[in-house]
Amino acid sequence: MNKLLVYLKDYKKETVLAPLFKMLEATFELFVPLVMADIIDIGIARGDRHYIYMRCLLLVALGIIGLTCSLTAQYFAAKAAVGFAAGMKSGLYRHIQSLSFTELDTLGASTMITRMTSDANQVQNGVNMVLRLFLRSPFIVFGAMVMAFTIDVKAALIFVVTIPLLSLVVFGVMAVSIPLYRKVQAGLDRVLGITRENLTGARVIRAFHKEESETARFDESNNHLTAMQNYVGRISALMNPVTYVIINLATVVLIYVGALQVDAGNLTQGNVVALVNYMSQILVELIKLANLIITVTKAAACANRIQSVFDMRPSMDKGVREDAAEPEGQAGVKAASDAGMPGADAGRTGAAEQMDGDGMTDGMCTADEAVRFSHVSMHYHNAGEAALEDIDFAAKRGQTIGIIGGTGSGKSSVVNMIPRFYDASAGGVFVDGRDVREYPVQELREKIGVVLQKAVLFQGTIRDNLKWGKEDASDEELWEALTLSQAADFVKEKDGQLDARIEQGGKNLSGGQRQRLTIARALVKKPEILILDDSASALDYATDAKLRSAIKGMDGNATVFIVSQRTASIMHADQILVLDDGRLAGMGTHEELLAQCEVYREIYESQFKKEEAISGA
């Protein structure tokens, strides 16, 4: 948690003033029992109403001053805590944005959402409580004991015994509950993960009639979380009754000793009342301290979980040159990049060792090659087997490259390495003759337009979504991209056209409309390399054919990669890559592959026989 305190650096004044005003409030509170003692021993004993009135006014003044100090302290504490949380969330969001797909896959969406919301709020609450009570409560406890000694040493010895006993109970309960609260937060992660899966996959669950099994799975995790919370709650609940028993016993002893001292003439009745008030103050403050420790314990556990995300270094940085742009995040990211990445070094070494007879590496692109894969292999994090092995091919400028293969054959893995969403474990990926690991990420991705498998649109207007590709794009450029992506017709039919509203995730559009708009978004920037990763799966064959024809005829000399499970979508490509279990099973034109590649021929025949049967019917 200490590393996160850097976000308090802009609130140094507030972090000093909040505890200071709380200490002032506590100081005035410690004078109240002495004033009460004076009222009893002097005002009431002598029947002096004027004295009583004056002391009552003093009590009111102490209360008003204490309230003013308390409100001031609360203002500064809240300002510091909210500002701290805002800075931390902003830094965490920027850091998450800097992570590569590898780290995002490892963390998981539910974990990141928990860190940004529940954990961040717990830490904010912890900072607020610490600034308000961390100094005040101990000050009241020990201040009350000191004030008791000023009244009567013999009676004050009861405080010396009571305070350690109370501290033993409080800190003993905390020692047991601290690790349990960590388990509770981990259980919350699991429940949120299941909730997210059920919300995002609601249609699939209903389609397969799995509502009951998913409800049972959620109930199991939720009940486990509830059981853990109840268990730690029962342990924490012991604190109040045990502390009250100790305090009440101490009060009984204090009254008994005080009565003996009054009879002996060593104490006044007002002094006994003051001692009892101090004992009550100690009880209240120790309960507050106990609750504070619970809050701080939760906050510390949550802060460590947030820090674990900050400590996760972007693996993409590890292969980048020193002059490459670094993503924003916590200080120290560059230090991690200096450590180097074995996979990246292996890739460079592998490419460097592949020398031909003229002393040139076959990993380097020739002048007319836009992309080259030089004996590339790739492992996903913690995966047992390689996702890709020995992928070697070149794509020339202006060519259309089709990629086809069975589910899980590595089609998306290949194209995801071009914009460097993932890095090669061995070999090298080259764009314009330069290893992608030597590009600043922004410069590399400026060259590339990517349409991922899942069509994702953001809440706003159609214009807002299209301008993700190019912020200063004119309406003419937007309509040109919509026309190329075959989306212009349905956009013209909408109220507002380019200013038509899109709901979060594009939920008010059909699957085909979402796909066409995401393709248009990529086309707006007029990329040198266009990647369509199974992005036309929701389109009918006629629209798909028009789309491919429009992309092939667009201005410029773009290299296009089309990933598809449809043979019809890639059969007219200049070069087709056939993947099977992470390896290149064949490479060539449609006619060449039909003659030479069994895997491609099986895919083609299975699809076209089916289509012929459908058309015949």
Write out the two tokens for 491: 């956009």
Say if CB 138 and CB 305 are below 8 A apart.
no
Residue-by-residue DSSP string for 76-99: HHHHHHHHHHHHHHHHHHHHHHHS
CATH number of residue 554's parent domain: 3.40.50.300
- Pairing of the two strands 434-435 and 426-431: antiparallel
Q: Are 335 and 412 contained in the same domain?
A: no
Task: Say if residue 337 is in the same domain as residue 231.
Answer: no
Contact 102, 422 (CB under 8 A): yes
* C-alpha–C-alpha distance, residues 204 and 509, integer Å: 18
Residues 561 and 472 in one domain: yes
Q: How far is residue 265's CA from residue 257's CA, in Å, rounded to a whole number?
A: 12
Q: Does 218 score more than 80 pLDDT?
A: yes
Residue 107 has pLDDT above 80, yes or no: no
What is the DSSP pairing of strand 369-378 with strand 426-431? antiparallel
In a domain, 362, yes or no: no
> Each residue of 375-434: pLDDT tens digit?
888 887 766 677 888 888 988 888 888 998 888 788 888 888 888 888 888 888 888 888
> Which 8-state DSSP code applies to residue 327?
P
From CA 280, how far away is CA 144, in angstroms rounded?
Answer: 10
- Taking alpha carbons only, the member of 467, 463, 450, 468 closest to residue 502 is 463
Euclidean distance between CA atoms 327 and 307, whole angstroms = 18
Cα-flanking dihedrals φ and ψ of residue 124, to 5°?
-60, -45
How do 460-461 and 434-435 pair as beta strands?
Answer: unpaired
Q: Indicate whether 302 and 335 sit together in one domain.
A: no
pLDDT average, residue stretch 187-201: 83
Same domain for 400 and 333? no
pLDDT tops 80 at residue 329: no
* Token reading at 103: 């780290």
Q: How many domains does the chain have?
A: 3
Task: List, for residues 10-66, the tens digit of each pLDDT value.
Answer: 888 888 888 889 888 888 888 888 888 888 888 888 888 888 899 899 989 988 998
Do 575 and 587 form a contact (C-beta atoms < 8 A)?
yes
Same domain, 518 and 418: yes
Per-residue confidence band for 326, with pLDDT thresholds at 50, 70 and 90:
very low
Domain-embedded: residue 356: no
Q: Which residue has the tokens 């919509």?
A: 482
Backbone Cα Rg of the chain: 35
Residues 192 and 330 in one domain: no
What mean pLDDT is predicted for residues 78-92? 88
Mean pLDDT of 330-339: 36
pTM of structure: 0.64
* 573 lies in some domain: yes
The residue range of the domain holding 453 is 391-424+433-616
d(CA 516, CA 613): 29
Q: Residues 6 or more apart from 329 whose CB is under 8 A from it?
A: 91, 94, 95, 98, 310, 314
Please report whether residue 370 resides in a domain: no
| Mean pLDDT for the stretch of residues 461-490 | 85
Give me the CATH number covering residue 8. 1.20.1560.10
What pLDDT, in 10s, does the model give residues 148-158? Answer: 888 888 888 88
Mean pLDDT of the chain: 80
What is the phi/psi pair of residue 395, to 5°? -120, 120
Cα 246 to Cα 114, 284, 594, distances in angstroms: 40, 13, 88
Query: Which backbone phi and psi does 317 adopt, to 5 degrees?
Result: -65, -25
Q: What is residue 583's three-state secondary structure?
A: strand
Q: What is the pLDDT, as a whole number, of residue 332?
A: 37
Residue 586, helix vs strand vs coil: strand
